[in-house]
């Protein structure tokens, strides 16, 4: 695979231009600061621009021409001999630059020159190299900085996931421009030596390029990668250690290849990653001496820093402690030889990581299957065949129900009768399927029997909802000629078997199996006549086993499902509190334990258990509040492992970086992760610890909401979606004009005034005010970033719940549907594949409420299971809003986390704001009035669960 004969041989770029750019030399600017006109530092620089074009096609949808620009600049020794280019000895008339023998390729990775004004030279590195007498080819990765293209994929490098999924090589799009540039430099321009250096993503590219192309004699990757064994947290798609190609070489092999031949050298500059390596070396050192290493006290870290002659910023106590605890797998506080060897040997692949990877793969397979199913459904006879298969000899009635459900948009709370009538009237695919389904018409003509059918489905006597039917589909119903009673006893036999298996697994200490079996039993028991009490018990056991299997999210969901059946169930309540405790959500755990203690008042033992839990959680809360370093580190680890390396790594490294400077600490306060009085603590590590706990807890809470929502316990977070065409709206077209679409494409955010007529907005506002005074909107006390906001997710698509709201707030419903109708147009205008959840958010920011700086989805920042929000659509409904009432929305430029300038958008009535949920950091400033808004989030179809089979 390696070696020049495998590399592309192109040596002529698709376009070659030369031009002279007025270039402002950064070095110069600083030396004349305040003294002269900055234009005095601008000099014409001759530049040769190469353009490489690579077609990257997967199929009709994923096809782009990837362009890579390379800027060749010659050494500027003519301008200034030596290093001090603006010194007194600068020649009056410069000697024209001449080409040397060595070309340095400097790769800027993700580049940050903001739109390429300085031929990609982000921070003057190219200048500096030129001044040193070197010729430089400056380049960067596809889709960034100078390589941004017209129909840029919004996910940037995440776009290559599609290639990864299909097993097609995509690393070439990053590396081949480098190789071709070397071809050009050597064969066309006659350079004799090639050096390559790069920063960050450029460091990564340097590592990969130097491994495959032996013509690179000297390579210097800076902060680009780290061996995967060190649990590297990547910042962008191409660098994931999970990618197939990275598994081949695990980076380490690539480093070796870069210096394999005698005449080749590679300097690796780890910078940021250095810390982890140092920490491990420290462990080795300590182990060599004493064979064990006790938890690193701060003084220990200090000794280490002194020995290595590095400062605290390079290796913080926090870092040392974190790595120590990572190695200390039994958490005894002491690392022994065994643990250390294990750590080094196992790299990132612990059994639980393997399991997670496996789950991810399974999810992917499921997603593909779902997509396949969607295609399948359009063919009526195929659907019928499918039913036959699912039905497997069960009664006709079930078959028809499946038919109804295929039509989608099933609201679990909708009454069966309403659901049946709606699908019948609904037209489209569902109606066709029903008409073609044998037996359905005959039932329709016999209303009495239809009613009887509803009744048989209403097993728990609460009126019969779609949810019951859905759960019934999950177990085998009565077979042909089987009586209903016989069917139930068959199900009960299955339940008993499940429970036996579960208990056996309990005895064998296989909690994951027990959890699954208890869950299966609980599901069946929930629909068996009079099964509720046993169902709750099974849910409680499922929760307990889930906790033992270290699956607190699942455990919590199980207990909540139990509590839905019997709200006062003590064991479910208690286990749910324990699950919250192990999630690190101590505040809610405390509330739950208080409630459990109240319920348990009559029973001494249970009361004692609740009080014991309460004492433990309160003590923990107090330690966290006090800032106890060890406790905070433990909480960070606990929540970090629940979030996964990638997401946790993102938040911990962001917070860690911010804690080091006053400016960064202010940003943490702005994001809601740091209390004012914790700024300027003696050590940045203390700030980092406190803020990391808050940030991780915030993300855990969000993750929990996704779990609850997927289990149908919470509306509005991970709702099932429908395809955009199912919610297209004739008036959506009028919301945005040509210019607005253009702005959205380019700036990733667009603001449209009077998108909805004022009289309509006034009605919406009145309806929302009425909802709010009816106590329908609620505040999430755990959302530290969004304090005091009150919100309600309104189902706007179908079902009885939507019916209810339609009666209460008809105009709001219409407007929400109109906003959701933007999805089809968004698909066309931005080339996206979208899906629309079936609810939207109505929110009120009362006085003092705000929303700290955030993204609406962190998918591109490592949180791969975040809500798949792609586009945020907001409509403000505040008649006569005045500037003194505050509440402006501040939005930064794409991917700018609040460092540059932001636009301030007042929440004026009828104003529509549309932006890319994963790209635009935004904040709502403190409101001084009751500020109303409607928000529809449009999801990425690839990752959204569709409301169909």
Q: Residue 699 or 922: which CB sits closer to ligand AKG? A: 922
- Torsion angles phi and psi, residue 505, rounded to 5: -60, -35
Give one word for 542, left, alpha or beta, with left for phi > 0 and alpha for psi -120 to 50.
Answer: alpha
Q: Residue 189 or 925: which CB sits closer to ligand AKG? A: 925
Range list of H helices, 392-479: 396-406, 416-425, 428-436, 440-445, 447-457, 466-473
Q: Residue 191 or 845: which CB sits closer to Fe ion? A: 845
When CB distances are held under 5 to 8 angstroms depending on the partner's kind, the choice from ligand AKG, Fe ion, none that residue 609 binds is none
Q: Residue 632 or 913: which CB sits closer to ligand AKG? A: 913
Q: For residue 320, what are its two tokens?
A: 């040392």
At closest approach, how far in Å is the CB of 771 from ligand AKG?
16
Q: Residue 217 or 856: which CB sits closer to Fe ion? A: 856
As a whole number of angstroms, the longest Cα–Cα distance in the chain is 104
Q: Does 892 bind ligand AKG (CB under 6 A)?
A: no
- Using alpha carbons, list the distances in angstroms from residue 428 to 106, 269, 378, 383, 800: 58, 61, 10, 14, 20
Q: Are strands 216-222 and 265-266 parallel, antiparallel or unpaired?
A: parallel
Among 287, 514, 688, 889, binds ligand AKG (CB under 6 A): 889
State which of positions 835-874 bind Fe ion (CB under 5 A).
856
At closest approach, how far in Å is the CB of 876 from ligand AKG?
7
At closest approach, how far in Å is the CB of 785 from Fe ion?
9
Cβ-proximal residues to 668 (8 Å cutoff; 6+ apart), any chain: 655, 658, 659, 674, 687, 691
- CA–CA separation, 247 and 251 (whole Å): 8
Q: Residue 634 or 856: which CB sits closer to Fe ion? A: 856
Q: Residue 704 or 933: which CB sits closer to ligand AKG? A: 933
Q: Residue 429 or 670: which CB sits closer to Fe ion? A: 670
When CB distances are held under 5 to 8 angstroms depending on the partner's kind, the choice from Fe ion, ligand AKG, none that residue 860 binds is none
DSSP characters for 409-428?
A: ---TTSBHHHHHHHHHHT-H
Cβ-proximal residues to 857 (8 Å cutoff; 6+ apart), any chain: 863, 866, 867, 868, 869, 870, 917, 918
At closest approach, how far in Å is the CB of 834 from Fe ion?
18
At closest approach, how far in Å is the CB of 856 from Fe ion?
4
State which of positions 515-544 bind ligand AKG (CB under 6 A).
none
At closest approach, how far in Å is the CB of 708 from ligand AKG?
18
Q: For residue 169, what are its two tokens?
A: 């090589």
Beta bridge partners of 269: 222
Q: Which of 229, 217, 213, 192 is nearest to 267 (CA)?
A: 217
At closest approach, how far in Å is the CB of 919 from Fe ion?
12
Give one word for 54, left, alpha or beta, with left for phi > 0 and alpha for psi -120 to 50.
Answer: beta
When CB distances are held under 5 to 8 angstroms depending on the partner's kind, the choice from ligand AKG, Fe ion, none that residue 935 binds is ligand AKG
When CB distances are held under 5 to 8 angstroms depending on the partner's kind, the choice from Fe ion, ligand AKG, none that residue 889 binds is ligand AKG
At closest approach, how far in Å is the CB of 856 from ligand AKG?
5
At closest approach, how far in Å is the CB of 767 from Fe ion?
22
- CA–CA separation, 699 and 680 (whole Å): 25
Q: Residue 725 or 904: which CB sits closer to ligand AKG? A: 904
- Using alpha carbons, list the distances in angstroms from residue 601 to 222, 418, 541, 597, 661: 63, 43, 22, 6, 51
Burial of 824 by CB count in 10 Å (0-12 exposed, 13-18 middle, 19+ buried)?
A: buried
- CA–CA separation, 940 and 870 (whole Å): 5
Beta bridge partners of 794: 840
Angle subtended by helix axes 317-327 and 684-710, to nearest 10: 50
Position closest to ligand AKG via CB: 889
Range list of H helices, 549-675: 552-565, 570-583, 586-599, 604-626, 629-643, 645-659, 662-671
At closest approach, how far in Å is the CB of 740 from ligand AKG?
17
At closest approach, how far in Å is the CB of 173 from Fe ion?
32
Q: Are strands 912-916 and 749-752 parallel, antiparallel or unpaired?
A: antiparallel
Q: Check residue 926 and report its DSSP letter.
A: P
Position closest to Fe ion via CB: 856
Among 748, 922, 941, 943, binds ligand AKG (CB under 6 A): 922
When CB distances are held under 5 to 8 angstroms depending on the partner's kind, the choice from ligand AKG, Fe ion, none that residue 933 binds is ligand AKG
- Write each residue from 869 to 888 as x if it is in contact with ligand AKG (CB under 6 A), else as -, in one continuous string: -----x--------------
Size of the site for ligand AKG (CB under 6 A): 8
Q: Residue 236 or 856: which CB sits closer to Fe ion? A: 856
Q: Check residue 465 and report its DSSP letter.
A: B
CB 95 within 8 A of CB 47: no
Residue 337: CA atoms inside 13 Å, Cβ hemisphere, count?
Answer: 4
At closest approach, how far in Å is the CB of 141 from ligand AKG?
30
| Residue found under tokens 């249970």 | 606
CB 660 within 8 A of CB 708: no
Size of the site for Fe ion (CB under 5 A): 1
Beta bridge partners of 792: 842
| Residue found under tokens 């104003």 | 911
At closest approach, how far in Å is the CB of 890 from ligand AKG?
9
Q: Which of 66, 68, 86 is nearest to 76 (CA)?
A: 86
At closest approach, how far in Å is the CB of 472 from ligand AKG?
37
At closest approach, how far in Å is the CB of 744 from ligand AKG?
16
Among 933, 934, 938, 944, binds ligand AKG (CB under 6 A): 933
Residue 567: strand, helix, or coil = coil
Q: Residue 182 or 841: which CB sits closer to Fe ion? A: 841
When CB distances are held under 5 to 8 angstroms depending on the partner's kind, the choice from Fe ion, ligand AKG, none that residue 723 binds is none
Among 935, 938, 939, 942, binds ligand AKG (CB under 6 A): 935
Q: Does 924 bind ligand AKG (CB under 6 A)?
A: yes
At closest approach, how far in Å is the CB of 759 from ligand AKG?
22
Q: Does 941 bind ligand AKG (CB under 6 A)?
A: no
Query: How are the residues of the chain apportioned to helix, strand and coil, as percentages rounded to the nearest 5?
Result: 50, 15, 35
When CB distances are held under 5 to 8 angstroms depending on the partner's kind, the choice from Fe ion, ligand AKG, none that residue 874 binds is ligand AKG
Q: Residue 279 or 816: which CB sits closer to ligand AKG? A: 816
CA atoms 72, 75, 79, 82: torsion sign: positive
Q: Residue 391 or 856: which CB sits closer to Fe ion? A: 856
Q: For residue 321, what are its two tokens?
A: 């402690």
Q: Are strands 851-854 and 922-924 parallel, antiparallel or unpaired?
A: antiparallel
Q: Residue 437 or 917: which CB sits closer to ligand AKG? A: 917
Q: Residue 328 or 783: which CB sits closer to ligand AKG? A: 783
| Residue found under tokens 């906790």 | 547
Q: Which of 122, 126, 28, 42 is nearest to 84 (CA)?
A: 28
State which of positions 809-868 bind ligand AKG (CB under 6 A).
851, 856
When CB distances are held under 5 to 8 angstroms depending on the partner's kind, the choice from ligand AKG, Fe ion, none that residue 783 binds is none
At closest approach, how far in Å is the CB of 922 from Fe ion?
6
CB 203 within 8 A of CB 224: yes
Beta bridge partners of 220: 197
Interface positions with ligand AKG (CB under 6 A):
851, 856, 874, 889, 922, 924, 933, 935
Interface positions with Fe ion (CB under 5 A):
856
């Amino acid at each position: 695979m390696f070696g020049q004969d495998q590399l592309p041989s192109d040596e002529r770029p698709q376009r070659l231009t030369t031009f002279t750019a007025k270039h402002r030399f950064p070095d110069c600017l600083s030396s004349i600061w305040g003294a002269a006109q900055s234009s005095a530092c601008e000099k014409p620089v001759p530049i040769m621009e190469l353009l490489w074009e690579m077609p990257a096609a997967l199929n009709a949808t994923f096809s782009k021409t990837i362009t890579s620009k390379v800027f060749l600049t010659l050494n500027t020794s003519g301008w200034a001999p030596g290093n001090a280019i603006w010194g007194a000895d600068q020649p009056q008339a410069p000697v024209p630059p001449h080409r040397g023998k060595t070309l340095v390729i400097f790769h800027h990775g993700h580049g940050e020159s903001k739109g390429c004004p300085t031929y990609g030279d982000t921070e003057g590195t190219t200048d500096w190299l030129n001044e040193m007498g070197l010729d430089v080819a400056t380049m960067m990765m596809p889709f960034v900085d100078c390589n941004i293209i017209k129909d840029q994929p919004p996910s940037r490098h995440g776009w290559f996931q599609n290639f990864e999924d299909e097993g097609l090589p995509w690393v070439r799009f990053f590396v081949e421009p480098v190789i071709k540039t070397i071809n050009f430099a050597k064969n066309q321009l006659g350079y004799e030596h090639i050096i390559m250096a790069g920063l960050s993503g450029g460091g990564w590219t340097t590592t990969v390029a130097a491994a495959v192309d032996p013509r690179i004699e000297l390579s210097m990757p800076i902060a680009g990668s780290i061996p995967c064994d060190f649990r590297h947290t990547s910042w962008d798609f191409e660098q994931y250690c999970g990618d197939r190609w990275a598994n081949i070489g695990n980076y380490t092999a690539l480093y070796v290849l870069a210096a394999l031949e005698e005449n080749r050298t590679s300097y690796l500059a780890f910078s940021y990653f250095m810390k982890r390596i140092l920490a491990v070396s420290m462990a080795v050192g300590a182990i060599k001496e004493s064979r064990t290493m006790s938890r690193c006290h701060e003084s220990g870290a200090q000794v280490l820093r002194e020995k290595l002659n590095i400062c605290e910023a390079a290796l913080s106590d926090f870092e040392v402690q974190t790595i120590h605890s990572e190695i200390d797998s039994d958490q005894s506080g002491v690392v022994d030889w065994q643990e250390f060897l294990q750590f080094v040997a196992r790299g990132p692949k612990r059994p639980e990581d393997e399991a997670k990877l496996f789950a991810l793969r399974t999810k992917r397979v499921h997603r593909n299957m779902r997509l396949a199913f969607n295609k399948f459904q359009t063919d009526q006879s195929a659907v019928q065949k499918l039913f036959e298969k699912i039905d497997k000899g069960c009664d006709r009635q079930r078959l028809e129900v499946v038919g109804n459900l295929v039509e989608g948009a099933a609201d679990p709370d909708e009454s069966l009768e309403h659901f049946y009538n709606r699908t019948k009237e609904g037209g489209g695919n569902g109606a066709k399927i029903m008409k073609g389904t044998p037996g359905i018409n005959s039932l329709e003509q016999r209303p009495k029997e239809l009613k009887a059918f509803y009744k048989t489905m209403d097993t728990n006597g609460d009126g019969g909802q779609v949810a019951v039917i859905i759960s019934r589909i999950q177990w085998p119903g009565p077979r042909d000629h089987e009586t209903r009673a016989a069917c139930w006893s068959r199900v009960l036999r299955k339940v008993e078997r499940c429970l036996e298996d579960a208990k056996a697994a309990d005895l064998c200490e296989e909690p994951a199996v027990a959890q699954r079996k208890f869950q299966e039993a609980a599901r069946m028991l929930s629909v068996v006549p009079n099964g509720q009490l046993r169902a709750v018990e099974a849910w409680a056991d499922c929760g307990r086993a889930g906790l033992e299997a270290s699956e607190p999210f699942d455990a919590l969901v199980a207990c909540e499902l139990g509590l839905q059946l019997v709200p006062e169930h003590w064991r479910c309540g208690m286990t749910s509190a324990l699950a919250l405790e192990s999630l690190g959500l101590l505040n809610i755990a405390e509330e739950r334990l208080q409630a459990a203690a109240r319920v348990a008042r009559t029973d001494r033992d249970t009361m004692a258990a609740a009080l014991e839990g309460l004492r433990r959680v309160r003590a923990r809360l107090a330690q966290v509040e006090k800032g106890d370093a060890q406790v905070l580190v433990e909480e960070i680890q606990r929540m970090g492992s629940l979030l996964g390396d990638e997401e946790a790594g993102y938040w911990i490294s962001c917070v860690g970086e911010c804690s080091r400077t006053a400016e960064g600490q202010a940003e943490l306060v702005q994001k809601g992760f740091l209390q004012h009085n914790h700024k300027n603590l003696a050590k940045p590590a203390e700030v980092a610890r406190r803020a990391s706990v808050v940030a991780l807890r915030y993300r855990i809470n969000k993750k929990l909401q996704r779990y609850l929502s997927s289990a149908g316990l919470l509306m509005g977070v991970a709702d099932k979606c429908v395809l955009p065409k199912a919610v297209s709206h004739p008036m959506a077209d009028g919301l945005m004009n040509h210019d607005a679409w253009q702005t959205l494409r380019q700036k990733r955010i667009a603001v449209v005034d009077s998108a909805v007529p004022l009289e309509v907005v006034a009605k919406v506002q009145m309806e929302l005010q009425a909802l709010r005074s009816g106590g329908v909107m609620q505040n999430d006390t755990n959302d530290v970033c969004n304090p005091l906001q009150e919100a309600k997710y309104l189902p706007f698509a179908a079902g009885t719940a939507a019916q209810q709201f339609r009666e209460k707030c008809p105009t709001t419903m219409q407007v929400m549907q109109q906003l959701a109708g933007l999805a089809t147009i968004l698909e066309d205008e931005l080339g996206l594949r979208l899906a629309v959840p079936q609810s939207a958010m109505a929110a009120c920011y009362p006085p003092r409420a705000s929303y700290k700086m955030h993204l609406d989805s962190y998918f591109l920042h490592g949180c791969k299971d975040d809500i798949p929000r792609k586009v945020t659509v907001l409509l403000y409904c505040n008649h006569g809003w005045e500037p003194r009432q505050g509440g402006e929305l501040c939005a930064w430029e794409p991917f700018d986390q609040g460092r540059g300038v932001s636009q301030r958008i007042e929440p004026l009535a009828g104003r529509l704001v549309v932006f890319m949920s994963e790209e635009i950091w935004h904040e709502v400033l403190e409101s001084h009035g009751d500020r109303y808004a409607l928000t529809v989030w449009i999801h990425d179809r690839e990752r959204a669960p569709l409301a169909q089979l």
